[in-house]
Structure 1
């Protein structure tokens, strides 16, 4: 394996990691901002108010996007990693 091929696979793998984690991170960000705004407007400072809805929203998005994540990882390994291993 050449150095260029290694860096190309590494770059592609990092891009896959960004694509897979983006839905969860975006939902956590939006939920955190909405709840923070709600807390600031109502002066309610409860720690569970930030934690529980954020985890619930992330679990819901994870459940919905699990097939996308699995398909993305399977195609990465099937198209790039396994042929590279089999090819030597």
Structure 2
């Protein structure tokens, strides 16, 4: 296994991790932004007002995108395992 192979696997791993984390992170970002706008407009500074809706929104995002996330991770892992013999033969 060469340095280029390791770099290729690392880049692919980071891309899959970013793609898989994006729905949850973007949901939390959007809900947090909307709640902060509401808090700024009404001057209500209740900590649970920002926490509870984010938790609910993230849970809904996980329910909606969970199947896709799992299929992406399984596809990536199967591709990695399928490429192992090719990578080990190069040594």
TM-score band (shorter)?
over 0.9
Alignment of structure 1 residues 16-35 onto 2, 5 Å: 16-35=16-35
Unpaired runs of 5+ in structure 2?
none
Question: SS of 1:45's equivalent?
Answer: coil
| Cα RMSD for the two superposed structures | 1.0
Q: TM-score, normalised by structure 1?
A: 0.94
**How far apart, CA to CA, are the structure 2 residues paired with 1:85 and 1:46?**
52
Q: With CA pairs under 8 Å and 6+ residues apart, which has the higher RCO, 1 or 2?
A: 2
Q: TM-score, normalised by structure 2?
A: 0.91
Alignment of structure 1 residues 35-50 onto 2, 5 Å: 35-50=35-50
Unpaired runs of 5+ in structure 1?
none
**How far apart, CA to CA, are the structure 2 residues paired with 1:12 and 1:3?**
14
